[in-house]
Chain A
């Protein structure tokens, strides 16, 4: 479904991504792991067209989307839920969700809102409330729900667990598992290695703008490199 080859990108003179290769098949949850500042969020931004690529290619559903603008990429069903609960604080929860269908899924808006309400019952109670009054966990759910409004083929979740209490992190990962059960394909960008590996089908580990390791969680868990460098174990 997604096929990234030798992707380079950065800001100004600073090269952040130094040749990324990554692929995702339909129905998978793929985790992209790595510590702060290795380029995970930049990578997510390049995929969704928010950050321009320097070179390399991104193919999505057999189509080259490397040079497309963010709007056109949304049209094709690659939906990015940015890092840090980017919601619209002065709009209501319902309005936030409706904006999720700004370009894609406009016709099915009512049906999709019901669907999101089913997945996130806590949001439903707060539909008329301003999104800025939601708790951190609820805001993250809203951001994901808003992404679902665009009927994603591939959903990129950038650090959905960041800044949440341990209990909520648990809940968030349960929810992501639930989305997978619905057949969504997900790229999960996370620092939370252990929990990500629990629900992922495959994982890529990024370091310094490059992919260092990749494979099934079971293989990675046994890898002494990963244990040392990213888990702080061993």
Chain B
């Protein structure tokens, strides 16, 4: 189909109750509407949010500075609770990252058409979440300036990292994940950056978009190479969805701490990560699609699919919870039994039960199509899952450490303002990056949506014929 030809017919299947693209759209109208968010001037709401998140970023910087100057003692950690907020936040953020890669890579391979309009969004979220996540293991070190000892480089001291430990693998997994996600995201961005360049009206925009679009002309050769590279990267990224959180789960599973030492951890962590990632996609998608005028490409159909996925992964996570507690009981091991009993009824038992509500009960709402279609319900449910997944990491990490083998070691843990500063500060930083993303980069992949539009159109015509 030639550029600019106006399609008169709505691209929708009469049998499908929910369309992927709403309204009568043409390639031109799509390009225009999808580039609109970055071509408009920033509104008041954007600036308000910008300053809010900038403040959060400032808090983050302050908390980081305090941590570096005073030491980890500025946090609430102690012996036995050697890991707490730092690692919880790390796992939480890295978990969020999983939805992006899932949507963009795995769904590409499975040729899921609906992914087109949400993948940019999800990938950006992934990148920014991984950036937050990557900070925490470094800050968490007692001597963070020596972090590079985790990297297998040929050191003059002739010492390699210890590969029996999960942490060097963590380092490799996260770095790889970040790099591949970045490449994948950037590659997908090229045609859209070129579109933005082509439509840019100021020399500055022309220059910057021109620079980053790497001379994209849209020639058949470009498209050919681009498609091959995109598919290859999708293939490369796919195992990462599984590997990253598997390795993160090893941090716990290979240790012998009661409540950590469990073979269910790798799949359970991966499911949890995707679960939380999908929830965060929904949390961010729902409020922005209206103001950015993306209702026609991010439709209720997308929300419907995402909530169904949320339900599916929620069930997997619930199964993981069940297994954890079942195996603690089935093992008959007194330390495991005590650790899980403490998790349920101890000092932080109330957090565990909140987590059960948000992560097990809340997703059950999405058995009902009516609730899946209700944006407010979905948004609050997704928010609950976001929070619940933080609590999940808390109840895995803190109560297990606080209640291990020797009763003498049992100790209370209470976080400090720096702990909360890092948690909320990282949210601020994430939000800031996300706002900048919405302002400067087309949030929906224009070329892919246009392609989808064309395909849907074509399919409809064939059907009609």
A and B: real partners?
A: no
Which residues does A use to contact B, with CB under 8 Å?
Answer: none
